[in-house]
Structure 1
């Protein structure tokens, strides 16, 4: 004889009228075989099952017709033999009344089983095969939200299960499905518990039953006998059937907020689930039926039936003697946690434990909600020890952070707070809506984080690929350098073998890559950049030959190319690489050496002049003068035909002209930038002032260019390239007006696209179009008059 365990109590709770005696008067009955079964693909928490059959297929009873789609999912089996007539949206028992994908099965009336594979001795099997049998049988929790049983039993390695709790409480009013199961199928329930004991190997097994079920208690104690499990009877109180509440009642331990019973070494299962496990392992039968309570004053024959999954609710109500004229509200589940059904054509599913057909007197419409009077009754009865009043306020304000801080997700939605509320506030509905919104936001955030993570991984991958390409490029360059060095060595060896004591040094030196100084490298890059800019401008001019701006840019770019190439050539010690052929073999080494020395001194002079700028110090002036003397001396040592044609004395004036051109280009860019900004916001007075100031700066810069040209040593054709066709103030103002009118027109057009049909926006668009046409006409007339002049 086992010692009785201590019974604990939970916070709060209520004692609503039970109304359980009506449905236990006729035992457990079997309704007629329905002609048509509707089998939704989503009868559990998790992913929807995937159909294995097609329309027109014939199936046998117990045959799998849809397979699990992922770990958290359940397969679906045919409750009887027949033909598949449809696969698609069908009525579904849900508060929303929306349809769900389902397989429709027309019964052939034979109720013929498929081949079954019962297990003679499950104790010879290990845990994984048994869990696979339970999973393939399509078993999910039959008393709650419908979580797949095999997943729930598969605890993580760190979760050692020491207590198995069987929930026979069934605390909600009207529902007697588990009570009936324990009365008439107690041996099957105990056999299912023993299978779980073999799988989990718990230290203790507790079967919790409320004291308002004496017949079920007696039947279970007889079936348990001296087995290693204990029937625990405790006082009736709603909602003691909640998983966390039952654990606290039987063990005194509390499941942590946001946690699971497995976190404290416990697993809780329903009575109906035990029968399904027995049928799957011992008999080899999948889950195709369940015990369902049919009750309510609108039924003349309330009872409990063994209903096939997929049976239309209309058929079960007719079996229980429904009185349509008295039926006011049909609820699936109990009056506390159930929901109103929108269609009688919806089927019974795996989690359907009760159908409550109530009259208007039995289930009257709820009164209108009144303002909260802060009585605190909701807090007193909450079994989860929450603050329903504050949760209500934060739910109204959509303050989801505060709701999570107050542990909204610990609410089991038992309805006790709404039951005692004197203001008739539907508190549970607010909590359900807030939970759904929080889950949606978290899912959205999860997707955003996932996208960000994918983007970061893509950037890392591109960086790795770029690094790999750079390494490959360096390897190719090193290989090419080695091959070139090998060829040079072969050339030297060949010259030595041919009998020459001294090989052709000039030819070998010409094959070697030139070793450039930092200054020479910069000049080479500048020359290449100028050439690329000139090519790009010429291509643009070819595609747009009427562009005055491009025509004006071409001479400037050509001059820049010539100057940068000349500077690079001078740094290399040559007058012009393009026009002067390379020295032939056997050239005078002294002449070459003198040219290189002169070029290096000229490069040093340029560098010193750039560093000094427009206001050189006394030391910089001395250094520049000394370098100029060195350049003159070096060029004097060169032969007459090798001396540079362009004197160095003209350099300062040319540099002044370059600086003036650069200032003019920058002033022009500033003016264009200010005009674009003004076109976007025409009413900004600050931008208008900036435009006027930029125009003044551009005029002064152009004057400075003219003055620099007058004193420049460049030939007249080079100075003519700088000249640009001046733009008078009237032309510039008309162009600005036209740009502003065009921007206003585009702005009005975008606004009308965002709000089509807006009369005011249509008027604004028409006015903007007229203003744009007027500005364009004024500009065209002005340009025509200029051409006439």
Structure 2
């Protein structure tokens, strides 16, 4: 016999489960319209992969999650996509969200499916890929994607796999009837998950108020090592952390997850969905929903296509509008009142209660806390509900978080026993929501600061690079200037011309020297030919000096042009001055070039004359 432990707190509300267990599971049928939300679980919303007017088959993928955590969405039946837009979705606030509206054609034609007869021949990652492609998420809580949950980190070895069949909340019997009528599928789905995880122990936990379900599972698990553990009826024994404590004696650490202590917990409906995805190739397009309450003529459990409206289901169960006082989605402890019947069934919807005024009376007005301490006695997480309430009401969220607010599972046990009718869970939900908003804003501010700091670093880096380039250009110009100055000093030391004015002076001096030498050489002949007419003495141009003058002028022009380009790049104030200097040097180069050309012509003419003579 399986050893059991107990958890602190808990309550024993009236069960009311007999209302919906008198009949077998009924098929709800195909409604005239299906509204399929693109986000039905924790994670990123799916993006449509179909367009308005497209014809789709049953089981065909109509939305997928490309990035982030999520699973795809499939068509529950064949038909035409009518629209994609905002519609009311199951939420305590009555909010709207993006949905795909499908108009069924009544044919219910399947797309091509690929069943696997022996999954053991595949790799585990391939089986996980099939589970992901089937769009399976947890069907008993917040709807965590199953393929992620079945692939824990390497440092978190799962030793115990628990299938949660406790279903402790009043009125809800969806899992109970599933275990009674589909025990083989429950066990086959558990075997697949156990083959993926390789735990040392597999156990199905069932409350002792479900003898028929326990008997069916015992028969289905014959010849296996799967344990059937019958746990005492106490709310909330079906809570993940509480069931783990009952079956293993271990507690999930504050802020942790079951995998931290080597345990994993899955839902009964999830096991059936995994079995069908592998052995039938069927994606998650329907689920069992309990319709109960004294305002229904035919309460029971229905096999419902996802996207079916609550209004359609209430009609199938025989709603008596004159008797219905409240419509609750979920159980009376953790569910919430519906503001409209137009909301659709999603992967996590498990119960609809149509209650009369006497069955679920309106809560009395909230009164002052009398500090009785009953809320602390029944809290299964051993928190301090009274202090959490005070801090939440005073918007002292940091203090509430310090008291482990996020360990609260929102079971509603504290609200159930409160003599002052204080809606404690609503205060806790409000505080959690505000803290999440503050965290999101802080994260947004941190990211904005990081972007700003990165931009400042980039600007500083670019400025440093500009300064470095400017220093390198200045250094190069300084070196060029020093080189030019050294060359000028060397030329001056050798008696050479260092600029255009010096070149002209040297040219004039050389011409005078040549004239003087030719005059002295020609004096005897001049004395002999005194009466002969004197011929004009033609000056011989110094080609070498002119070429040097031209080269120096051209070099100076190039230097000035380089300085002008740097000035333009830096947007300096002396750009105009440099432009005028460049123009002036350009004229000098032109004049030097013309003088050199004229000298060459003259020299050529003299050479020709001498050859004729």
Q: Normalization by structure 2: what TM-score?
A: 0.79
1:739 matched residue in structure 2: none
**Per the alignment, in what secondary structure is the counterpart of residue 96 of structure 1?**
coil
2:269 matched residue in structure 1: 272
What is the distance in 2 between the residues matched to 1:61 and 1:176?
A: 27
Within 5 Å, give how 1:115-126 maps onto structure 2: 115-126=112-123
**Do residues 161 (structure 1) and 158 (structure 2) align?**
yes
What is the distance in 2 between the residues matched to 1:233 and 1:507?
A: 113
User: How far has the Cα of 1:382 moved from its partner?
Assistant: 0.2
1:126–1:199: 8 Å Cα contact kept in structure 2? Answer: no
**Do residues 66 (structure 1) and 87 (structure 2) align?**
no
2:439 matched residue in structure 1: 442
2:556 matched residue in structure 1: none
User: How far has the Cα of 1:215 moved from its partner?
Assistant: 0.8
**Do residues 6 (structure 1) and 32 (structure 2) align?**
no
Of 328, 336, 353, which aligns to 1:331? 328
What is the distance in 1 between the residues matched to 2:194 and 2:480?
A: 77
What is the distance in 2 between the residues matched to 1:505 and 1:82?
A: 96
Within 5 Å, give how 1:346-425 maps onto structure 2: 346-425=343-422
What is the distance in 2 between the residues matched to 1:491 and 1:282?
A: 96
* Deviations 1:726-754, CA, capped at 9 Å, x for gaps: xxxxxxxxxxxxxxxxxxxxxxxxxxxxx
What is the distance in 2 between the residues matched to 1:197 and 1:483?
A: 80
**Per the alignment, in what secondary structure is the counterpart of residue 450 of structure 1?**
helix
* Deviations 1:125-181, CA, capped at 9 Å, x for gaps: 222222221112111110001111122222223222222111111000010001111
What is the distance in 2 between the residues matched to 1:132 and 1:481?
A: 69
What is the distance in 2 between the residues matched to 1:491 and 1:384?
A: 93
2:198 matched residue in structure 1: 201
1:492–1:503: 8 Å Cα contact kept in structure 2? Answer: no
User: How far has the Cα of 1:478 moved from its partner?
Assistant: 3.3
1:482 and 1:154, CA in 2 relative to 1: closer, same or farther beyond 3 A? Answer: farther
User: How far has the Cα of 1:32 moved from its partner?
Assistant: 2.3
What is the distance in 1 between the residues matched to 2:147 and 2:81?
A: 28
What is the distance in 2 between the residues matched to 1:226 and 1:507?
A: 113
Within 5 Å, give how 1:103-182 maps onto structure 2: 103-182=100-179
What is the distance in 2 between the residues matched to 1:102 and 1:287?
A: 17
What is the distance in 2 between the residues matched to 1:472 and 1:117?
A: 65
User: How far has the Cα of 1:431 moved from its partner?
Assistant: 0.7
What is the distance in 1 between the residues matched to 2:152 and 2:378?
A: 33
Q: How many residues align?
A: 506
**Do residues 39 (structure 1) and 36 (structure 2) align?**
yes
1:506 and 1:81, CA in 2 relative to 1: closer, same or farther beyond 3 A? Answer: closer
Within 5 Å, give how 1:420-499 maps onto structure 2: 420-487=417-484, 495=491
What is the distance in 2 between the residues matched to 1:483 and 1:228?
A: 91
What is the distance in 2 between the residues matched to 1:48 and 1:91?
A: 15
* Deviations 1:259-307, CA, capped at 9 Å, x for gaps: 1112222211101001111111221111000011111101111111110
What is the distance in 2 between the residues matched to 1:249 and 1:71?
A: 34
Q: Normalization by structure 1: what TM-score?
A: 0.62
Deviates more, 1:53-62 or 1:67-76: 67-76
* Deviations 1:4-31, CA, capped at 9 Å, x for gaps: 3321100100011111111111111112
**Do residues 293 (structure 1) and 277 (structure 2) align?**
no
1:48–1:69: 8 Å Cα contact kept in structure 2? Answer: no
What is the distance in 1 between the residues matched to 2:297 and 2:266?
A: 33
**Do residues 20 (structure 1) and 17 (structure 2) align?**
yes
2:488–2:498: 8 Å Cα contact kept in structure 1? Answer: no
Within 5 Å, give how 1:331-730 maps onto structure 2: 331-487=328-484, 495=491, 501=494
2:29–2:304: 8 Å Cα contact kept in structure 1? Answer: no
* Deviations 1:612-643, CA, capped at 9 Å, x for gaps: xxxxxxxxxxxxxxxxxxxxxxxxxxxxxxxx
User: How far has the Cα of 1:470 moved from its partner?
Assistant: 2.3
1:82 and 1:479, CA in 2 relative to 1: closer, same or farther beyond 3 A? Answer: same
**Per the alignment, in what secondary structure is the counterpart of residue 203 of structure 2?**
strand
**Per the alignment, in what secondary structure is the counterpart of residue 385 of structure 1?**
coil
User: How far has the Cα of 1:473 moved from its partner?
Assistant: 2.5
What is the distance in 2 between the residues matched to 1:478 and 1:455?
A: 34
Cα RMSD of the aligned pairs, angstroms, is 2.2
Of 311, 314, 327, which aligns to 2:311? 314
User: How far has the Cα of 1:503 moved from its partner?
Assistant: 5.2
User: How far has the Cα of 1:492 moved from its partner?
Assistant: 6.7
Of 96, 99, 108, which aligns to 2:96? 99
What is the distance in 2 between the residues matched to 1:42 and 1:444?
A: 23
User: How far has the Cα of 1:479 moved from its partner?
Assistant: 3.4
What is the distance in 2 between the residues matched to 1:97 and 1:275?
A: 30
User: How far has the Cα of 1:487 moved from its partner?
Assistant: 4.8
1:47–1:69: 8 Å Cα contact kept in structure 2? Answer: no
* Deviations 1:91-145, CA, capped at 9 Å, x for gaps: 2222222222111111101000001122232112222222221112111110001
What is the distance in 1 between the residues matched to 2:500 and 2:235?
A: 105
**Do residues 242 (structure 1) and 234 (structure 2) align?**
no
1:199 and 1:485, CA in 2 relative to 1: closer, same or farther beyond 3 A? Answer: farther
User: How far has the Cα of 1:211 moved from its partner?
Assistant: 0.9
1:31–1:307: 8 Å Cα contact kept in structure 2? Answer: yes
What is the distance in 2 between the residues matched to 1:90 and 1:226?
A: 49
What is the distance in 2 between the residues matched to 1:489 and 1:286?
A: 88
What is the distance in 1 between the residues matched to 2:190 and 2:232?
A: 23
1:448 and 1:216, CA in 2 relative to 1: closer, same or farther beyond 3 A? Answer: same
What is the distance in 2 between the residues matched to 1:253 and 1:479?
A: 76
**Per the alignment, in what secondary structure is the counterpart of residue 82 of structure 2?**
strand
* Deviations 1:443-482, CA, capped at 9 Å, x for gaps: 1111111111111111112222222222222333333344
User: How far has the Cα of 1:490 moved from its partner?
Assistant: 5.8
**Per the alignment, in what secondary structure is the counterpart of residue 314 of structure 2?**
helix
What is the distance in 2 between the residues matched to 1:501 and 1:315?
A: 112
1:689 matched residue in structure 2: none
What is the distance in 1 between the residues matched to 2:14 and 2:170?
A: 7
**Per the alignment, in what secondary structure is the counterpart of residue 260 of structure 2?**
helix
Counting helix residues as a fraction of each chain, which structure ranks higher? 1
Structure 2: gaps of 5 or more residues: 502-551, 553-572, 575-613
1:36–1:311: 8 Å Cα contact kept in structure 2? Answer: yes
What is the distance in 1 between the residues matched to 2:404 and 2:317?
A: 42
- Structure scoring higher RCO (CA < 8 A, sep ≥ 6) equals 2
What is the distance in 1 between the residues matched to 2:128 and 2:475?
A: 62
**Do residues 284 (structure 1) and 285 (structure 2) align?**
no
**Per the alignment, in what secondary structure is the counterpart of residue 48 of structure 1?**
coil
**Per the alignment, in what secondary structure is the counterpart of residue 187 of structure 1?**
helix
